[in-house]
Amino acid sequence: MKVQQVVPILNVSDVEASFVWFAKLGWSRQFTRDSDAPGAPPGFGGVGCDGYEIFLCRDAQGSRGRGTNTTTGPGSDQLGDQGTWVSIWVDDVDRVHKRCLDKHLEVTYPPTDEPWGVREMHVRHPDGHVFRISQSVDR
C-alpha cells in the first residue's frame, strides 16, 4: 500500500459556520457540495491550509458534541467532548495561539512545553472537535 493522503472528516452542525471558524484559524474554503434538498444549506465541504485538507460533513459521518470540561489539557476529562481530536503540527505554536486569541477562538489549553518533547496548545471548534496544535521542542 502507498498512502497518498489522509483527510479527517468532521461531523459539523453548520458547514458555512465552520468555514468562518476555520478562516479565523487560518484555513480557507476549498469546496462545498450542496445538500440534496433544494434550498438546504451545504451538506459537505472542505477546508485547506498548506496542502492539507479537512472535510466537513453536516449531521453525518462521525460524532460531535461539547462536554462541560473547560480545559482539554492533561488531567482534564478528555472523554467529556464527543468530537474528534485532530493533531496539527506547525512551525510556531505561539503564533497560532496569538491568532486564536485575536480571533476569539476557544483555547482550551495554552501553549505548554510538554515532557514528551513538544510545545502544544488546544483549540476547540464550536461542535466540540479539539485541535491539538503542536511543534517539536529542541532538547
pLDDT band at 69 (very low <50, low <70, confident <90, very high): confident
* Cα→Cα distances 104→10, 22, 43, 132, Å: 21, 12, 26, 17
What are the residue ranges spanned by the domains of the chain? 9-58, 85-136
User: What is the reported pTM?
Assistant: 0.88
Largest CA distance in the chain: 56
Q: Are strands 130-136 and 85-89 parallel, antiparallel or unpaired?
A: parallel
Outline where DSSP puts E strands in 37-128: 44-49, 52-58, 85-89, 106-113, 118-124
Q: Is the pLDDT of residue 97 over 90?
A: yes
CB 122 within 8 A of CB 72: yes
Q: Is the pLDDT of residue 72 over 90?
A: no
- Domain at 85-136: CATH code: 3.30.720.110
Phi, psi of 18 (to 5 degrees): -70, -35
20-50 pLDDT per residue, tens:
999 999 999 999 987 777 777 889 999 999 9
Least confident of 13-17, 47-51, 66-70, 110-114: 66-70
